[in-house]
Structure 1
Amino acid sequence: MIDTFTAPGRFFRGNLHTHSNVSDGLLPPEEVCRRYAAEGYDFIALTDHFVGRYGYPIVDTTAYRTDRFTTILGAELHSGAQANGELWHILAVGLPADFAPGNAPDFKPVEGQETGPEIAARAVAAGAFVAIAHPQWSGLTLADARSLEAAHAVEVYNHGCRVGCDRADGFAIADLLLTEGRRLSLVATDDAHFTEPDHFGGWVMVKAAENSPEALLAALKAGHFYSTEGPELRSVAVTGDAVEVECSAAATIIVQGRGAAAVACHGGSMTRARLPLDARCAASPWLRVTVVDAAGRRAWSNPHWR
């Protein structure tokens, strides 16, 4: 069984990619936190843009924690040029408040600054959970993604990028990296700015012993979570010849693997299914599950390595 569903604790709902008016968001940090708490989230990471234009902010959100809602410090890091000449965007959740700025005065690469892989490695060394942000929106190449060796995860669904430009996807990059043996997890986020309906659309469900920044961060690094637009994953068990899934009411349940490997079942209000593996899925070194409900909303497991 995938560790997410056997790990001790319970699931906590959180958004890992959020902006406030400390950088280019609309609302002050206190109001961002209030809205997520009111919507039923258990935690958020406020990840304002870590560039000189905004004073390299790592916003102190500790004052907005309550007995049922917590926050994790973080930032969206920027440094160096991707292959297309644009600045790297790297999500870093769990940064220390004194994480040292680089040399990124604004949203354009400058001579002599750290590369994206270098600032990502520095964030991981400082204790952060690091994800490759919105690959489709960024125009990220596979070579770019390969170079970011320190990343824990790929942002496979970005709700703000879906709403704002229909470029929400990161699965193509993620699946290629998985096929090359990179043991990455998959995160869904809002990338909320509250300047358009870019909030409450994609989140992670993290299995942790308690709703504390430390426990959540450890669970994220261990891959003890799944990502969703709404459907629930309750169990994913991989046996020698099949995958068994329990979930909220689904119209489609899919098992995906390396290359073209995939098997699916379809029905009405399915809450459990056993999907026998065909030859391609059986040969894949990793498998992941997608659940789709009647409204087309999806949930995604992290990869299971066989």
Structure 2
Amino acid sequence: MPTNASSSKLLTLETLDISAAHIYPTFVFGTITYLTIVFCNLLVLITIAVSKKLHKPMFILLFNLPISDMVGATAFFPHLMFSIVTQSRLISHPACITQAFLIHVYGTGNLLILSAMAYDRYIAICYPLRYNTIMNPNNLIRIIFLIWFINLSLIFTLIMLNARFKICRTNIVDLYCNNPSLLKLTCEDTRVNNYYGIAIIVLLQGVPLSIITYTYAQIFHTCVMTNQPDARRKAIQTCGTHLVVFLILQINTTFTLIAHRIANVSPNIRRTLGVSVIVFPPFLDPIIYGLKITELKQNIILFLKRNFCSIKL
């Protein structure tokens, strides 16, 4: 845990460089973006929860993605909006550690959830006769428990290894708190943290990428070989949606992590990539899934119509 000296310090996040004339338009835009993210993700969550037709392994796994997205967005946007209005980039050390923890939980959670969803589609398309046996309720609960246990335990260890240090600097080099920027505040030996961080990067970037690559190669092979055009089209449409969402997160995350470890990378590029990891997936995920997965889209429309009609009455 942080020392008393560290806990009492206020840290300074990277400046936003917003002129006085643009403060309130930026605040309004940021607030609308955050509320849109929360609304769209809650809509997906509630629709899956209340629609019995969606109580299937694929959608139960998908149910976890909006939760993770809202964790990331909520860790980032409220403090950002507060900073814009007050023109203050100060944050306490415990609050910074909490923000870093939640943001890393969001990123890791998304990668693991998307990997589990890819596995689910692999079983459904390549082994349809065994799908109900393999993806039975007990196994589904085990998969979801494993996702969150691995996520929380790895990130908790990562942040606690960081929080044990006494800090000697107060300037965060990013627009929000994360593990690499927190490590740069200490003057102590961080080799253990660096080794653990590299191991996590290899594990959490490599394993999901391997799962996605293998499962989608098998899925597309099966789709090419099938003689049922409708089944092929539906499978490619659903898997294409997962693949787009995964690639958006994977590419952004990979470049952001690499940028932190290369000294001559432009700080502005690193910050832009870092923000894009938090803003784009939570904003795009519910829209992509809501529009591209027909069954989910139909139930969202039905849910909105039913509740809109009840409000009018």
Instruction: Say which structure is richer in strand.
Output: 1
Instruction: Give the alignment's TM-score, normalised by structure 2.
Output: 0.23
Instruction: Give the alignment's TM-score, normalised by structure 1.
Output: 0.23
Instruction: Say which structure is richer in helix.
Output: 2
Larger radius of gyration: 2
